[in-house]
C-alpha cells in the first residue's frame, strides 16, 4: 500500500484528520481538486464573516455621532472590501498548504474517484491506502425550475469585483438570511423570497421572529409564501416569477433586481467519487456512517458535510480528529452530535445551544418546562437610542432544574453562547447560573440574573 491513510478532500475535516494522523506517525496523503481549505476557508465561514464585519460599519458610523465623534460622510468602496477578503482567503489557502508540508502530509492535486475499495484514481495515476477517508464536503444547490441555472449561488458572490445596486435572494435559511443582512448593510437593496411563513426554520421561534423583525426594520423586503416558478434574465437584470402560497386564484408575483442569489440548500459532492467501485453505501445524497464515522466498508470512513449529519466546520474537524485517533492512536472517542452550539450571523446576531422552547415542550411537555427570558436594549445602544433589542432565553427542566437550552439575539451572541455551551454541556442547572456572580455592565450578565 502507498499510504496508511488517504484523505479525499482538503477541507476542514480532511485537513484535521490528515495532520492528526501524520502526527501519530502514519504515512498520509490528501487529494484536493480545488483549493486547500475547503468551503469554510475558501467560500464559506471565513470570507462571509469578514463581509459581516464590513457590513456593520454603516451603523457604527451612524452611531458615532451620539458618542461625540464627528466625521465627513463615509464612502464605501465594495471593490476594496471584496479584494481584501480574497487576499485573506489566498493567505489562508497558502497557510494550509504550508501546514500540510510541515506535517509531512503529501498533497495530491486533482479529482479523486474510487478504482476499488483500497485504490483511488487521480487523473492517470492510482494510489492505494490501507484506510481511506472521504471528506469532500458539499456544494450549493439550484432550483429545479425553468431558469434555475441563472444567477449566483453563495460561492459566486465571493468572486464579484463589485456589488449590485439591488438583489433578490431566494431562501430562508441561515445562508440566505446572513447574505441578506450583509448586502443590506453594504448598501444593496435586498428583496428576500421565502417559501414558508418565517425564516430560519428549526430555531427558537420567539428569537427568530425578533431577528426577522429587525431585518425588515433594516429595509430588507422579505416576501413570505412565495414559491419561485420561473427565472428570466435580460439586459436590466433578473425577473423572478413566484406563485403565492394559499392563493385560490394562483396569483403570480414577480420580482426584479440587478442580481440574483439562490440560497436554497446544499448537497454532498458525491457525483464523481464512483462510490460503487468501492462498495460504499449512500442514500439521499449522503454517505451512511456509524458512530465511529465508519462506512459499510470497514476501512473507509467519512466526515463532515458528506454525511449530512451536522454540517458545521467544528463538527467536521472533531470527526476528522476522532477518526485519526481511532486509527493510529488506539482512541475510541465518539463525537457528540447531540449538543452543538450554532450561530447565525444576521444583524442582529443569533446564537443557540440545546433545545428551543418548542423542542423542549415537544420532548418534555409544557408543564415540565420553564422559560426564563430578558429583553432589553444594550448599553451600547443607549446613546444612539436605536438598534435591535437583545433577547436572552433559558429553557429549564422543572424536575431536574437542568438547563435544556440557551439562546440569544444581540451583539456578540456567538461569543457568549460558546462559553455558555461549556457549562450546559457539563449539565449546569438554573441554580448554578443563579449562584454565579454577574459581571456588570454586560449583556451576558442577564443569563445569571433572570428570575
Which pLDDT tens digit goes with each residue over 350-393? 999 999 999 999 999 999 999 999 999 999 999 999 888 999 99
Short-list 13, 36, 38, 17, CA closest to 26:
17
| Burial grade of 221 (CB within 10 A; 0-12, 13-18, 19 or more) | middle
Q: Which residue has the higher pLDDT, 120 or 71?
A: 120
- Quote the mean pLDDT of the chain: 96
Per-residue pLDDT tens digits for 25-82: 999 999 999 999 999 999 999 999 999 999 999 999 999 999 999 988 899 999 999 9
Q: Which residue has the higher pLDDT, 247 or 217?
A: 217
Short-list 255, 299, 66, CA closest to 151:
255
Per-residue pLDDT tens digits for 198-243: 999 999 999 999 999 999 999 999 999 999 999 999 998 999 999 9
CB of 120 within 8 A of CB of 30?
no
Q: What pLDDT is attached to residue 252?
A: 86
CB of 422 within 8 A of CB of 354?
no
Per the DSSP assignment, residues forming a β-bridge with 169 are: 192, 261
Q: Is 440 a catalytic residue?
A: yes
Q: What pLDDT is attached to residue 71?
A: 82
Per-residue pLDDT tens digits for 76-101: 999 999 999 999 999 999 999 999 99
When pLDDT is averaged across residues 331-348 and rounded to a whole number, the result is 95
Residue with cell 468602496: 77
With a cut of 70, say whether residue 248 has pLDDT above it.
no
Task: State the cell numbers at 315.
Answer: 463538527
| Calpha distance 18→447 (Å, rounded) | 40
| Calpha distance 433→451 (Å, rounded) | 11
Measured from the Cβ of residue 367, the count of other Cβ atoms closer than 10 Å reads 8
| Calpha distance 170→151 (Å, rounded) | 10
In the chain, the N- to C-terminal Cα span, in Å, equals 63
What's this model's pTM, rounded to 2 decimal places? 0.96
When pLDDT is averaged across residues 305-334 and rounded to a whole number, the result is 95
When pLDDT is averaged across residues 270-283 and rounded to a whole number, the result is 96
List the domains of the chain with CATH numbers. Answer: 3-139+267-328 (3.50.50.60), 154-264 (3.50.50.60), 348-448 (3.30.390.30)
Q: What pLDDT is attached to residue 251?
A: 76
| Calpha distance 406→413 (Å, rounded) | 11
With a cut of 90, say whether residue 304 has pLDDT above it.
yes
The catalytic residue among 233, 234, 412, 440 is 440
Amino acid at each position: 500500500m502507498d499510504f496508511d491513510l488517504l484523505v479525499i478532500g482538503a477541507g476542514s475535516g480532511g485537513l484535521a484528520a490528515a495532520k492528526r494522523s501524520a502526527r501519530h506517525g502514519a504515512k498520509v496523503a490528501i487529494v484536493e481538486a480545488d483549493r486547500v481549505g475547503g468551503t469554510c476557508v475558501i467560500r464559506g465561514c471565513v470570507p462571509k464573516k469578514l463581509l459581516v464585519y464590513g457590513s456593520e460599519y454603516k451603523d457604527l458610523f451612524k452611531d458615532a455621532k451620539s458618542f461625540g465623534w464627528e466625521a465627513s460622510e463615509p464612502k464605501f468602496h465594495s471593490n476594496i472590501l471584496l479584494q481584501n477578503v480574497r487576499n485573506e482567503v489566498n493567505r489562508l489557502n497558502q497557510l494550509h498548504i504550508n501546514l500540510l508540508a510541515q506535517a509531512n502530509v503529501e498533497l495530491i492535486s486533482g479529482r479523486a474517484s474510487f478504482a476499488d475499495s483500497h485504490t483511488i484514481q487521480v487523473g492517470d495515476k492510482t494510489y492505494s491506502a490501507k484506510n481511506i477517508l472521504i471528506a469532500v464536503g458539499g456544494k450549493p444547490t439550484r432550483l429545479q425550475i425553468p431558469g434555475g441555472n441563472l444567477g449566483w449561488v453563495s460561492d459566486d458572490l465571493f468572486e464579484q469585483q463589485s456589488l449590485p445596486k439591488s438583489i433578490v435572494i431566494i431562501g430562508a435559511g441561515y445562508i440566505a438570511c446572513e447574505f441578506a443582512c450583509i448586502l443590506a448593510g453594504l448598501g444593496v437593496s435586498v428583496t428576500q423570497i421565502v417559501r414558508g411563513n418565517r425564516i430560519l426554520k428549526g430555531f427558537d421561534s420567539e428569537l427568530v421572529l425578533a431577528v426577522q423583525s429587525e431585518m425588515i426594520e433594516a429595509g430588507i423586503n422579505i416576501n413570505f409564501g412565495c414559491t419561485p416558478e420561473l427565472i428570466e434574465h435580460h439586459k436590466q437584470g433578473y425577473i423572478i416569477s413566484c406563485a403565492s402560497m394559499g392563493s385560490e386564484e394562483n396569483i403570480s408575483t414577480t420580482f426584479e433586481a440587478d442580481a440574483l442569489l439562490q440560497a436554497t440548500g446544499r448537497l454532498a459532492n458525491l457525483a464523481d467519487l464512483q462510490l460503487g467501485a468501492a462498495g460504499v453505501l449512500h442514500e439521499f445524497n449522503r454517505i451512511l456512517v456509524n458512530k465511529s464515522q465508519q462506512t459499510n466498508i470497514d476501512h473507509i470512513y467519512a466526515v463532515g458535510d458528506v454525511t449530512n449529519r451536522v454540517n458545521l466546520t467544528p463538527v467536521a474537524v472533531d470527526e476528522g480528529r476522532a477518526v485519526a485517533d481511532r486509527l493510529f492512536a488506539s482512541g475510541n472517542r465518539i463525537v457528540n452530535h447531540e449538543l452543538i452550539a450554532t450561530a447565525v450571523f444576521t444583524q442582529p446576531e443569533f446564537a443557540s445551544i440545546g433545545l428551543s422552547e418548542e423542542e423542549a415542550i415537544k420532548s418534555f411537555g409544557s408543564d415540565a418546562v420553564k422559560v426564563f427570558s430578558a429583553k432589553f436594549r444594550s448599553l451600547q445602544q443607549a446613546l444612539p437610542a436605536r438598534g435591535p433589542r437583545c433577547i436572552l432565553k433559558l429553557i429549564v427542566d422543572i424536575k431536574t432544574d437542568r438547563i435544556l437550552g440557551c439562546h440569544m439575539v444581540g451583539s456578540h451572541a456567538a461569543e457568549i453562547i460558546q462559553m455558555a455551551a461549556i457549562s450546559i454541556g457539563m449539565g449546569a442547572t438554573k441554580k448554578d447560573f443563579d449562584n454565579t456572580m454577574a459581571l456588570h455592565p454586560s449583556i451576558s450578565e442577564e443569563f445569571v440574573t433572570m428570575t
